[in-house]
Structure 1
Amino acid sequence: MNGLLILALAMCLDAVAGEPRWLWSRAPHPAVLMGQAIGALDARWNREPSARAKGLFAIALLVIAAAAFGWMITQLGWVAEMIVTAILLAHRSLVSHVAAVAHGLRQSVAEGRRAISMIVSRDVSTSSSSQVTRAGIESLSENFSDGVIAPAFWFLIGGVPGILIYKVVNTADSMVGYLTPRHAEFGWAAARLDDVLNWIPARLTGALIALVGGAVSQWHMIKSDARLHRSPNAGWPEAAMARALKIALAGPRSYHGQVEDLAWVNGRGRRDLNPTDIDTAVSMVWKTWGLVVGILGLLGFFICVF
């Protein structure tokens, strides 16, 4: 079984099964184990002197361990590779969480805020329905890249070791990569490596969304919009989604009680958003997912036959 077909099957398994509670209530999810390892290294090594060097050593250790564990999984055969890859993808859980935001907003703004607070770190306690909707679409766009396209890309490059390396680096970035006083030095290597590993997948995700959303002709504007984002990578899928839906994303938001006046992505797009826009964005992501699975399946089939 070639890697293209294994990945296509893994993406389908993830889309059908998602994150089964019966399993993860009985066994620790790999992301939880990664988080525990990162937390232990953070607690033990994140101190001066040489916090940056210790952080670099920590991420190198995590990468080596992920590669070694991934190699062991490959020795178990293609079924094991497919199952582990499906577990490390997050398409079904992502769209389910974002769709829940639209469902919540249709009940009340408070319910929408509660649903979005589960997937974003910004302060949404006073957010309007439009702001909650915007946060949901932004999270969907960015995490479709981080949670689906990037892991799939690195599986194609390096098999199970490749996807495990990506996931442990991405998890480390989410835990210690923020520019807080505590992690500015120790988390530097994790944040920079995560930027590198997401550089191609983020732009690929943007291109795929633009293709499905009929916004390829606006690619030069998507590129300009993406550069306005504070992240070197997150702006690409967000900019493509904004152009495909003809809406404005990003803009001012609050973190820890402080309003950050961030630039708008597609600032001339519609800013008054509603739950239907989330539905449209979720549909767009499903269609993009379907395009990727179709391409992988066809290429994998032709490689098997010819």
Structure 2
Amino acid sequence: MSPLTTATLTLPLIATLATAGVAVDRWLGEPRRAHPLVAFGKLAKHIEGHLNTGRRGRLAGLLAWGLVVLPPVLIAAWLVAVLPFILACALHVVLLWFALGARSLDDHIVPIARALAQRNLVEARLLTARIVSRETAHADEAALSRAAVESTLENGNDAIFGALFWFAIAGSPGALAFRLANTLDAMWGYRTPRYLRFGWAAARIDDVLNWIPARLTATSYALLGDTRTAWRCWREQAPRWDSPNAGPVMAAGAGSLNVLLGGSAVYHGTVEQRPTLGAGQPARAVHVTAALHLVQRSVILWLAVLIVLALLSVPFQGRV
């Protein structure tokens, strides 16, 4: 059997491999030892330390992005092109598993929802601090619930649906490129004196790669809940959010769940007033669980759509 390249991936094969990748992620979760992203993060930090010197800020950031992202992606593309078919398929599944974070999202969010339901705010604060950048030391139940719901909805896109979208477009090299680009945005994409210019490329590239997946994610959230409210919140509230991709995702998700998000949050000792997202009730523990279930149902929807498209494509492939 001939080697498998990204160009020869058919829809039925993409659907099969995507389902396998999601199943492996659900079974194993993220690697607990020697996670590749740890090595990637160390490399990114090392290169940033050498190139982020204050001169040629945006150009240096673009060069650093290319140095840490392009080599592993090109190696992945070369391997799936030269390996025998079965091994190439296995590599696609492994790299998609690496790019996905659905099980990890569950592992982080479920304990927060449990602690909030038990009114254990001390535990909930500690657990929530692991997944958000805002300060949680003095957060009450409503603030912790908002943070957890917002993180769940946004990470549904960043940790799951973005990778699935680029896997469908370009196989495992595409999913890998998305995961690495998203990681660099999380590391460098801050509007601080250190990263304002250097992190510009990482932030803009992530915005571009995420533009279509974010809107597909928002559509999925809208279809699987209060659809009318979700569309309205997306249309009216998303433009007020500072992120062009997080806005649609969280506005549609909040509207779908009939929950209020946004509002005040403490970052680096400063209270920031963010636009309100959603409609309905203030966030509570029950909404954290509901948000996680919305993401899980959306995963099933995405795989179902892929499988249906694959089945519909078979007659056409047979005529070629």
Q: Please tell me the TM-score bracket, short chain as reference.
A: over 0.9
The 8 Å contact of residues 73 and 81 in structure 1, kept in 2 or not, is answered as no
Distance 1:217 1:253 in 2: 24
Equivalent position of 2:35 in the other structure: 29
Q: Which of residues 300, 311, 315 in structure 2 aligns to 1:290?
A: 300
Between stretches 53-62 and 124-133, larger displacement belongs to: 53-62
Percent identity at matched positions? 34
The more displaced of 56-65 and 143-152 is 56-65
Say whether 1:47 aligns with 2:47: no
Give the corresponding residue for 2:190.
178
Q: Does 1:94 align with 2:105?
A: yes
Whether the 8 Å contact between 1:5 and 1:300 is mirrored in structure 2 is no
Residue of structure 1 in register with 2:280 after alignment: 269
TM-score by length of 1: 0.92
- Decide which of 41, 44, 50 is 1:38's aligned counterpart: 44
Describe the SS at the equivalent of 1:200.
helix
Q: What are the residue-to-residue correspondences of 1:59-78 with 2, within 5 Å?
A: 59-74=65-80, 75=83, 76-78=87-89
5 Å-filtered alignment, 1:25-174, equals 25=33, 28-74=34-80, 75=83, 76-107=87-118, 108-174=120-186
Cα distance per residue 1:123-170 (max 9 Å; x no partner): 011111111011000000000000100011111111121112111211
> What letter is aligned with 1:226?
A
Separation in 2, partners of 1:56, 1:87: 24
**Post-superposition shift, 1:39?**
0.8
- SS of 1:183's equivalent in the other structure is coil
Query: Which has the larger displacement, 174-183 or 139-148?
Result: 174-183
Question: Unmatched 5+ residue regions in structure 1?
Answer: none
- Paired residue secondary structure (1:251): strand
The one-letter code sitting in structure 1 at the alignment partner of 2:51 is W
Matched residues, number: 299
Superposition RMSD in Å: 1.7
- How many angstroms apart in 2 are the aligned matches of 1:103 and 1:20? 24
Amino acid at match of 2:61: G
Structure 1 consecutive aligned stretches of length 4 or more whose deviation exceeds 4 Å: 301-306
Distance 2:113 2:227 in 1: 24
CA contact (8 A) 2:215 2:248 kept: yes
